[in-house]
Amino acid sequence: MILALAGGVGGAKLAHGLARNIDPSELVIAVNTGDDFLHLDYFICPDLDSVLYKLAGINDIERGWGIRDESWNFMESLKKVGGEDWFQLGDKDLATHIERSRLLSEGQTLSEVTRALCRKHNVVHTIVPMTDHRVGTIVDTQEGDFFFQDYFVRLRCEPAFTGVHYKGMEDATPSPQFSKALESADLKAIIFCPSNPFVSIDPILNVPGVTGALRTTETPVIAVSPIIGGQAIKGPAAKMMAELDLPVSPLGIAQHYGGLIDGLIIDNEDRMLVGPIMATGIDAYATNTLMRSAEDESLLAQETLSFVRGLSGNRP
Amino acid sequence: MILALAGGVGGAKLAHGLARNIDPSELVIAVNTGDDFLHLDYFICPDLDSVLYKLAGINDIERGWGIRDESWNFMESLKKVGGEDWFQLGDKDLATHIERSRLLSEGQTLSEVTRALCRKHNVVHTIVPMTDHRVGTIVDTQEGDFFFQDYFVRLRCEPAFTGVHYKGMEDATPSPQFSKALESADLKAIIFCPSNPFVSIDPILNVPGVTGALRTTETPVIAVSPIIGGQAIKGPAAKMMAELDLPVSPLGIAQHYGGLIDGLIIDNEDRMLVGPIMATGIDAYATNTLMRSAEDESLLAQETLSFVRGLSGNRP
């Protein structure tokens, strides 16, 4: 059994690579839900959707989010009648939010709804929300605190980042399948996908019980660095690291996850950092981590699984 | 001042003809809202939308409802994920329902929301709901009572029609501008557009106070027959008339509206019925009532206005 923690696009890519190499019964992908929000009365789960669309093979590659061959007639008409147009919703994508909201309003949990949506899209691997509770990631900045979508979409990540806190997290518990995977005697690896550490992976780690489980497990915990050559492939991770005075490199990732991870996979471009990372007590391995194709995703997944097999599973 | 009562497509056509011939300050179009319903959490007003889209010049002519150059990606995706697909919603059309619902949830009345939507679509004439109260037309059939949309869309009007009743009508009042038009000293005519008498015009007449106002007004009240040569141009009006044992002809329309209307405009094809209708105490005039083009709509509007001018305004 492999447990992958994933945020949006970068996480979805490695999750897809893992799914191509692991039997459906042996992979659980636990996805960040701290960005979820109500919009136009619908419940939108950006990261769950990114992973769902990616595994369903219907994701838009160029745009990096949403569904491919999308149309925007709803959005254009909504703009015309003066509706809320700050969050882009494609015509096809909207159906996911509307059906999810209907199922939630019938009393299904987000786990159940996600399973139903996966089934409809013929996704056979297990995608689960980090929690079935409603939680929200609040981004703290030098200009105040903002709900994630405000910071990300409306403010374009411009205010200087100082940290995050969460709304509703104290009462949350890991979703049943996430919890079961964490406790599984067969768990062979916990993999942090190359998602934003602060707003994608940390929310998952902050679901009560998760960090404790990671600190005590014998199972190897590894991360794949979302930073390559001082830059994030997508999103504000590099900017956030700089604003937190962390080295904008895999070394900063190692520092951030220090005490939780046994190993870190970094890009060949950063291979000179293998030594410095090892010196912090974290095993490191350099390979190609830039995923431009399904082939790249699959190869990185194979390298990741092979790296895990080489780790003892005991913390230094 | 001219007051037109309208349902969906047929009503929208004559309303459009009237709008092309009457100054915006001198025409009020009061529209049936008995078919309005909540769907996917949104408030849908089929007849208001038909009139709005028609006057905005964005209606689909071939389909007869909705917006032209529409796309259906939302609907197809919703079907795919197992959502409620019995009511067709185009991608562009959906924006109207979502924005309307948002404005209603902010506390605006349906009149205010309709005015806002008209403004956004550059419609300068006054379209108002028959009432700002939430009412529902219930269709009575030999197989039971159904909400209008159930009868119309789901059951395709198949159960034999026996009548209608209303939900919420006892507490309703005419919308402010409809009320003001009814009471206006300048009112020159009240025109029943060629809409379904039972499920489009009757709901408007059943808003408390409306029939009373029509019975006592000195203003000529006239109808344009929706039945031509024994058939309705669109919808179940002819079938309903047959099921109620009314003559399926303008004579049946005259019987149905008897006591309320001073005049009835019928199609040239039915001109042999001018005499029999006059014999019931209702003035009748035959002209071309089949509206295939904006030109036809405008000509019928002109004929209607000219017919009204020829009436005394006093009931026989």
A102 contacts B95? CB cut-off 8 A:
no
pLDDT bracket for residue B189 (50, 70, 90): very high
One of 3.40.50.720, 3.90.1200.10, 3.90.230.10, 3.40.50.10680 is the CATH number of B2-310, namely: 3.40.50.10680
pLDDT (tens digit, 9 = 90+) per residue, A26-79?
A: 999 999 999 999 998 899 999 999 999 999 999 998 888 899 999 999 999 999
Distance CA B284, CA B265 (A): 6
Q: How many CB atoms lie within 10 A of CB A174?
A: 24
Single out the residue of B80, B9, B127, B161 nearest to residue A119, CA to CA.
B80
B81 touches chain A (CB under 8 A): yes
Single out the residue of B202, B226, B157, B201 nearest to residue B10, CA to CA.
B226
Confidence check: pLDDT of B130 > 70: yes
pLDDT (tens digit, 9 = 90+) per residue, A232-272?
A: 888 899 999 999 999 999 999 999 999 999 999 999 999 99
Confidence check: pLDDT of B315 > 90: no
Shortest Cα distance, chain A CAs vs residue B8, angstroms? 21
> Please, what CATH class does the domain formed by A2-35+124-310 belong to?
alpha beta
Distance CA B156, CA A256 (A): 62
SS (H, E, C) A232-269: ECCCCHHHHHHHCCCCCCHHHHHHHHCCCCCEEEEEHH
The residues that bridge with A113 in the sheet, in sequence order, are: none
Distance CA B310, CA B313 (A): 9
A91 touches chain B (CB under 8 A): yes
pLDDT bracket for residue A313 (50, 70, 90): very low
B82 contacts A116? CB cut-off 8 A:
yes
Model pLDDT, residue A71: 96
Model pLDDT, residue B41: 86
Find which of A81, A117, A120 to mutate to test the B interface (most B CBs within 10 Å of its CB): A81
Shortest Cα distance, chain A CAs vs residue B39, angstroms? 11
Query: Mean of the pLDDT values across residues B279-288?
Result: 96
Distance CA B140, CA B159 (A): 9
B56 touches chain A (CB under 8 A): no
Could you say which DSSP state residue A160 is in? P
Find which of B78, B88, B89, B118 to mutate to test the A interface (most A CBs within 10 Å of its CB): B78
pLDDT (tens digit, 9 = 90+) per residue, B140-184?
A: 999 999 999 899 988 999 999 999 999 999 999 999 999 999 999
B121 contacts A82? CB cut-off 8 A:
no
Distance CA B48, CA B31 (A): 6
B80 touches chain A (CB under 8 A): yes
Confidence check: pLDDT of B91 > 50: yes
Beta strands A227-228; A231-232: pairing state? antiparallel
Find which of B48, B91, B101 to mutate to test the A interface (most A CBs within 10 Å of its CB): B91
Model pLDDT, residue A312: 56
Query: Mean of the pLDDT values across residues A297-312?
Result: 93
Q: A188-192, B48-52, B62-66, B203-207: lowest mean pLDDT where?
A: B62-66
Closest Cβ–Cβ partner in B70, B83, B117 for A99: B83
A117 contacts B81? CB cut-off 8 A:
yes
Confidence check: pLDDT of B313 > 70: no
Q: Tokens representing A98?
A: 């509307």
A71 contacts B91? CB cut-off 8 A:
yes
pLDDT bracket for residue A206 (50, 70, 90): very high
Over chain B, what is the mean pLDDT? 95
Beta strands A283-287; A263-267: pairing state? parallel
Residues of A in contact with B95 (CB under 8 A): 74-78, 80-81, 83
Model pLDDT, residue A155: 92
Query: Mean of the pLDDT values across residues B122-132?
Result: 98
B99 contacts A94? CB cut-off 8 A:
no
Could you say which DSSP state residue A153 is in? I
B121 contacts A98? CB cut-off 8 A:
no
Distance CA B5, CA B205 (A): 9
Residues of B in contact with A40 (CB under 8 A): 98, 102
Ordered by start, the domain boundaries in chain A are 2-35+124-310
> Strands of A161-167's sheet, edge to edge?
A144-147, A136-141, A161-167
Chain B, residues 117-136, CB within 8 A of chain A, namely 117, 120-121
Residues of A in contact with B92 (CB under 8 A): 73-74, 76-77
pLDDT (tens digit, 9 = 90+) per residue, B220-268?
A: 999 999 999 999 888 899 999 999 999 999 999 999 999 999 999 999 9
Distance CA A114, CA A129 (A): 8
Confidence check: pLDDT of B316 > 70: no
Confidence check: pLDDT of A314 > 50: no
B41 contacts A82? CB cut-off 8 A:
no
pLDDT (tens digit, 9 = 90+) per residue, B40-63?
A: 889 999 999 999 999 999 999 888
B90 touches chain A (CB under 8 A): yes
B92 contacts A99? CB cut-off 8 A:
no
Q: A119-133, A175-189, A219-233, B301-315: lowest mean pLDDT where?
A: B301-315
**ipTM here:** 0.80
Residues of A in contact with B78 (CB under 8 A): 95, 98-99
Residues of B in contact with A91 (CB under 8 A): 71, 73-74, 77, 91
- How many residue pairs from chains A and B have C-beta atoms closer than 8 A? 101
pLDDT (tens digit, 9 = 90+) per residue, A73-125?
A: 999 999 999 998 888 999 999 999 999 999 999 999 999 999 999 999 999 99
Find which of B60, B68, B73 to mutate to test the A interface (most A CBs within 10 Å of its CB): B73
Single out the residue of B297, B127, B298, B310 nearest to residue B220, CA to CA.
B310
The residues that bridge with B31 in the sheet, in sequence order, are: B6, B129
Give the predicted TM-score (pTM) of the model: 0.86
Distance CA B297, CA B290 (A): 8
Closest Cβ–Cβ partner in A42, A80, A105 for B120: A80
Q: How many CA atoms lie within 13 A of B315 on its CB side?
A: 11
